[in-house]
Amino acid sequence: MIAFVSGPVAAVAPDTAVIEVGGVGMAVQCTPATLAGLRVGQQARLATSLVVREDSLTLYGFADDDERQVFELLQTASGVGPRLAQAMLAVHSPDALRLAVSTGDEKALTAVPGIGKKGAQRLLLELKDRLGEPLGSAVPGARSAAAAPGWSDQLHTALVGLGYATREADEAVAAVTPRAEETVAAGGTPQVAQLLRAALQTLNRTR
């Protein structure tokens, strides 16, 4: 098992970072919040989990060991693969997930794309004795407030990390803000990965 990768950041994409390890570029799948903390050329250390399939080897990266552990525990529930587990961590912090499961907060789980009402009920039952109690203070729900930067801050940081100027990042965030506000008005949670793709399309059109 590859427990972590450490080295300079060679590249950052909407859902992947490339870390140079001993002259080899390791592609690591990460959540938007994790990617937002990376800068090309700077040193980074990501806890990792290697997912082996018949036709692929995929390395998932996390800000810390706790996030990786929760990622792996989530996959012990039926119907939860690595992509859904990563989506859950893109929306909720590890402690927010623990709190949601321990309190039976169905609404918090349905905030994750791909999880419906029945799926949330099943996950609450299966994960109740697996995730444990929250390690610190956490509020169930989307990553926000103290749990993580808001979607606009995450998006702006990710764009700057991809090499865009601050002014360009400001304009791109402004361009996708109506889309994010529509999602919030409908009771949903803006997905930074989706907004980042839309922002990049806007930037490509203006260049």
Q: Are residues 57 and 10 part of one domain?
A: yes
Where helices occur in the chain by DSSP H, the ranges are: 32-36, 65-74, 82-91, 94-102, 106-110, 117-127, 151-161, 166-185, 192-206
Under 8 Å CB-to-CB from 83, ≥6 apart: which residues?
none
Q: Give the pLDDT confidence of 88-120 residue by residue, as tens digits.
A: 998 888 888 999 998 999 988 988 888 999 999
Helix axes 94-102, 82-91, angle to 10 degrees: 100
Does 38 have pLDDT greater than 50?
yes
Domain boundary among 62, 94, 110: 62
Residue 194 has a CB neighbour count (10 Å cut-off) of 16
Residue 117: domain span: 65-127
- What confidence category does residue 146 fall into, taking pLDDT thresholds of 50, 70 and 90? very low
Query: Contact, 192 vs 154, CB < 8 A?
Result: yes
Is 163 in the same domain as 189? Answer: yes
**Are the C-beta atoms of residues 98 and 77 closer than 8 Å to each other?**
no
The answer to whether position 136 is within a domain reads no
Mean pLDDT (the chain, rounded) = 84
73 and 30 part of one domain: no
Give the CATH number of the domain where residue 198 resides: 1.10.8
Same domain, 108 and 160: no
Query: Can you count the helices (H) and strands (E) in the chain?
Result: 9, 5
Reported as a pLDDT band with limits 50, 70 and 90, residue 205 is low
- Domain-located, residue 135: no
Domain with residue 80: its CATH number is 1.10.150.20
What is the model's pLDDT at position 19? 96
Separation of alpha carbons 118 and 121, rounded Å: 5
Long-range CB pairs of 64-67, under 8 A, 24+ apart, other chains included: 66/94, 66/135, 67/34, 67/94
Structural domains in the chain (count): 3
Q: CB count, 10 Å around CB of 161? A: 19
**In this structure, what DSSP letter does residue 145 have?**
T
- On the question of pLDDT at 79 being above 70, the answer is yes
User: Which residues does 11 contact at the CB level (< 8 Å), separation at least 6?
Assistant: 17, 18, 25, 40
Local confidence band at 143 (pLDDT 50, 70, 90 cut-offs): very low
